A and B are shown apart, each in its own frame.
Chain A
Amino acid sequence: MTDATQDLPLVAEPPPRAVSGPFGWLRANLFSSVSNTILTILAAAFLAVAIPPLIRWALVDAVWSAPNSRACHDAGACWAFVHEKSRFIFFGTYPYEEQWRPLFAVLIFVALIVASCDRRLWGRRLVLIWLAGLVVVGVLMWGGILGLSYVSNELWGGLPLTLIFAVIGMASAFPLAILLALGRRSRLPAVRMICVAYIELIRGVPLITVLFMASVMLPLFLPPGVTIDKLLRAQAAFMLFAAAYLAEVIRGGLQAIPKG
């Protein structure tokens, strides 16, 4: 009586499927099941259809330099236009000869923002550096002293304006937001209700209506004879808007701390 299995010849087993190496990776990540294989093929087909025309448009058929606008007709991407207008795109209607000034203003902003990302530099000195930086930016943008010609803020535009808006808007919205957040958590019902009404009113309407209000209604709100320029109006609207959203973020932070 011998075990039946002993007589059976050993069947040659196929080598184990590759579980490592590029083929193993492909099998695990792209072809692990029938539905996955179908998805992979569909996605690859989509890429095959979409990518070549995009490359043809952006690189092969593109016009890199053109003497006039007609050269771009019936061609791919018109990068020549971007190159031609790049100064306008970055600096708007700022006087052409003076555009090194907004460029420096942008560089100062970038340096300040990068410096602020490093936690070790946080402190009173950074605040002073920020204030000094803002003064320098103001001098550069407006001019009128130190031999720089005066440039009215009606002519500002492009990247420096975006940065000024964002930085000053956020910085000035923050104190207001803290007050609103504290007011919303206040035990005094009248204070709480007014803060809640303000926050919910601003959060319930689109930014564009607040900007509209600033541009159309602010002149009506002020006493006759007092005018504020467009830049300040938009800045004020942005500040009031950002404060309502920031207030909710701060309130969330305050609520996360248990009472104990």
Chain B
Amino acid sequence: MATDIIRPAARPSPWRNPAIRGVIYQILFVAVVVALGWFLVHNTVVNLRRQNIASGFGFLYREAAFGIGESLIAYSPADTYARAFLVGLVNTLYVAGLGIVLATILGTVIGIARLSSNWLIRKLAQIYVETFRNIPLLLQLFFWWGLLRESAPAPRLAWELLPDVFVSNRGVVFPVPSPDPAYGWMALAFCVGAVATIGIFRWARQRQALTGQQFPIGWVGLGLVAGPPLAVFLVCGAPLALDRPELKGFNFAGGHAVSPEFAALLLGLVVYTGTFIAEIVRAGILAVSWGQSEAAMALGLKSGQRMRLIVLPQALRVIVPPMTSQYLGLTKNSSLAVAIGYPDLVSIANTTINQTGQAVEGIAMIMGVYLTISLIISALMNLYNRAVALVER
């Protein structure tokens, strides 16, 4: 009897084999998840049938029958829900794209200002960062929106911030150059110049690697990029006419007008995200040890070259990954537009859900779109990150 117990098992029981145990655990886990999913889907189907709500994406082809305050593409209430979604998507991408560019510029300037040797500049930048970083974005949006919508005067008494830039409770209007065929040609000339510069840059780098001779690529590139458009501009007779906003009746005519909602959203997103980017930039620059700069000086590099060749590439390595999360955050935060009435994707989907009752489809579409945008931004930034990341040899 005792021998039975002592006898070493020739083969361990299947239960003790980690591989088999792993498979069993996984089957159990997947079964639980699938059961939960099935439970939710089943309930939803039952509930929808009970409430007589249609399912499927057929509603997208029906008439939307609601107006949208501002849109970059043509839209009228007679268009379909699909078109309305597209308007929302374009509005979201517009504000997010502009916000990312402006927040990066603002954050970089403030981040460098925080490292300035000038006490006043340093302190001002610090006050800005610590104030706007610690106030919820939603409150900031309400603040800017209230400032523009409630506190700003009527167009008649509009504040003139700069010559011909007016702020009133109808939004912000500023002059834009009147359309002229010359601008199209200038853009073409710019593209040609840019391509030529890239070509010359490659050739110059190759030549420097082979012979050690340097080529004044900075000045030649500047000439190639700025020269042709300038030449076209002068040949076309320097069309400088501006489309200026003018008070006509109760509102401004001419110029480019931006609604208070858009202005508040963009301002809030840029000012809020700019603080985080400033801290990231500051951290990135501080992460490059002073010894690197000293070594560069010992090699005889000028201060510009030191920044461009030594400090910046190493700082970017630290800056890029957290910057990606800030860009993602800005894009996702743009959905707070629904709180101040800017017709972004979430706001339009919300209206659609209220009108059709098809919550499942509406929310699935919003989530799908944001997920796609997030993944695209991540993928692009990861590509860029791979280009600047430390290559260990």
Contact = CB atoms under 8 A, between A and B. Distances in A.
Interface of A: 29-30, 32, 36, 39-40, 43-44, 46-47, 187-191, 194, 201, 203-209, 212-213, 216-217, 219-224
Nearest to A35: B118
Given A40-B118, A205-B366, A216-B353, A188 B25 contact: yes
Interface of B: 22, 25-26, 29-30, 33, 40, 43-44, 46-48, 50, 116-121, 124, 328, 332-333, 335-336, 338, 346, 350, 353, 359-360, 363, 366-367, 370-371, 374-375
Contacts of A47: 124
B188 to A, nearest CB: 38
Contacts of B118: 29-30, 32, 36, 39-40, 43
A1 B121 CA distance: 59
A32 B374 CA distance: 45
Contacts of A29: 117-120
A208 B30 CA distance: 29
Contacts of A209: 335, 346, 363, 366-367, 370
Of B22, B116, B367, chain A has the most CB atoms within 10 Å of the CB of B367
Nearest to B370: A205
7 contacts: A29-B117, A30-B118, A32-B118, A39-B116, A191-B26, A203-B374, A206-B336
Nearest to A32: B117
Contacts of B40: 221
A224 B121 CA distance: 62
Contacts of B367: 201, 204-205, 209, 213
Judged by DSSP, the binding face of A is helix
B346 A30 contact: no
A165 to B, nearest CB: 13
B46 A224 contact: yes
Given A40-B120, A208-B336, A221-B43, 9 more contacts: A32-B117, A191-B29, A204-B374, A205-B332, A206-B336, A206-B370, A208-B346, A209-B346, A209-B367
A30 B333 contact: no
Of A44, A208, A224, chain B has the most CB atoms within 10 Å of the CB of A208
A204 B374 CA distance: 6
B309 to A, nearest CB: 23
Given A208-B338, A209-B363, A222-B43, A43 B116 contact: no
Contacts of B120: 29-30, 39-40, 43-44
Contacts of A191: 25-26, 29
A188 B43 contact: no
B92 to A, nearest CB: 10
Contacts of B370: 204-206, 209
B22 A188 contact: yes
A144 B374 CA distance: 47
A203 B29 CA distance: 22
B363 A213 contact: yes
Contacts of B332: 205-207
B115 to A, nearest CB: 13
B26 A190 contact: yes
A187 B22 contact: yes
A217 B26 contact: no
Given A191-B26, A208-B346, A221-B44, A30 B119 contact: yes
